[in-house]
């Protein structure tokens, strides 16, 4: 049996999010005024970066690539990991599949993309 290399990354990411959340709760409880925000804002910024990492993990689960040989594990982990972001996996998957189906097919649908360039015709 091979060990999936994504499991340690997944557990580490969840652990860091939990630690940052607990730290933010403690700061919010024990500090007030400007000193609270001097400590609290950087924690929130770091937490936002880690939430982006959670989104990337959910994206891989939506592509069913987080656990290549286990579709059920992708469903469960994808649902659970996107839950804090309030992104339903099934709806996200439908929207994202639409994005991949029509990606760069014309200028109107490619307007959904971040980087858009018009295709040059082969003359």
| 115 within domain boundaries | yes
Regarding whether 70 and 16 lie in a shared domain, the answer is yes
Sequence-separated (6 or more) residues with CB below 8 Å from residue 87: 55, 58
Regarding whether 13 and 31 lie in a shared domain, the answer is yes
Instruction: Please tell me the predicted confidence (pLDDT) of residue 1.
Output: 43
Number of domains into which the chain is organized: 2
Regarding whether 76 and 38 lie in a shared domain, the answer is yes
The mean pLDDT values, 10 residues at a time, for the chain of 123 residues are 70 89 88 85 89 87 83 89 87 80 60 50 50
Note whether 40 and 48 are within 8 A (CB): no
Residue span of the structural domain in which 121 resides = 90-123
Write down the H helix ranges in the chain.
Answer: 6-30, 33-62, 71-82, 89-101
Regarding whether 62 and 18 lie in a shared domain, the answer is yes
Regarding whether 32 and 59 lie in a shared domain, the answer is yes
Instruction: Please tell me the predicted confidence (pLDDT) of residue 22.
Output: 92
Retrieve residue 32's tokens: 């007030």
| 1 within domain boundaries | no
């Amino acid at each position: 049996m091979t060990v999936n290399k994504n499991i340690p990354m997944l557990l580490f990411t969840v652990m860091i999010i939990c630690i940052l959340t607990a730290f933010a709760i403690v700061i919010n409880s024990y500090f007030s005024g400007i000193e609270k925000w001097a400590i609290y804002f950087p924690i929130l910024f770091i937490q936002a970066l880690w939430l982006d990492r959670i989104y990337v993990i959910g994206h891989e689960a939506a592509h069913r690539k987080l656990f290549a040989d286990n579709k059920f594990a992708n469903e469960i982990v994808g649902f659970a990991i996107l839950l804090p972001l309030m992104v339903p996996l099934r709806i996200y998957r439908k929207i994202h599949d639409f994005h991949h189906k029509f990606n760069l097919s014309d200028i109107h649908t490619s307007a959904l993309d971040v980087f858009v360039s018009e295709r040059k015709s082969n003359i």
